[in-house]
Amino acid sequence: MSSEIPYVRELQFEYGLPAQAAANVRRVVARNPSPFTHAGSGTYLVGNGRVAVIDPGPLQEEHIDALLAALAERGEQVAHILVTHTHLDHSGGAPLLAARTGAKTYGFGPHAQGRHQPEDVVEAGADWSFRPDVTLVEGDTIEGDDYALTALHTPGHCSNHLCFSLADGKTLFTGDHVMGWSTSVIAPPDGDMGDYLHNLQRLLARDDAQYLPTHGPAITDPKPLVAAYLKHREEREAQLIACFRGGIRTIPEAVEVMYKDVPRYLHPAAARSVFAHVLHLYERGRITAEGEPSLEGEFGLV
**Helix runs in the chain, H state only:** 61-72, 88-91, 94-101, 193-204, 222-245, 251-258, 267-283
Which pLDDT value is given to residue 124?
63
Task: Name residue 250's beta-bridge partners.
Answer: 298
Domains and CATH numbers, the chain: 19-229 (3.60.15.10), 234-301 (1.10.10.10)
* Residue 97 predicted with pLDDT over 70: yes
**pLDDT tens-digit map of 210-264:** 999 999 999 999 999 999 999 999 999 999 999 999 999 999 999 999 999 999 9
CA angle centred on 97, ends 39 and 34, rounded to 5°: 20
Contact between residue 193 and residue 233 where contact means Cβ atoms under 8 Å apart = yes
- Other C-beta atoms closer than 10 Å to the C-beta of 95 total 17
What is the C-alpha to C-alpha distance for residues 54 and 264, in angstroms, rounded to an integer? Answer: 33
Beta carbons within 8 Å of 21's beta carbon, 6+ residues apart: 27, 42, 44, 212, 218
- pTM for this predicted structure: 0.95
Q: What is the mean pLDDT of residues 110-120?
A: 62
Band of the pLDDT at 2, cuts 50, 70, 90?
A: low
Burial class of residue 119 in the structure, from the number of CB atoms within 10 Å of its CB (0-12 exposed, 13-18 middle, 19+ buried): exposed
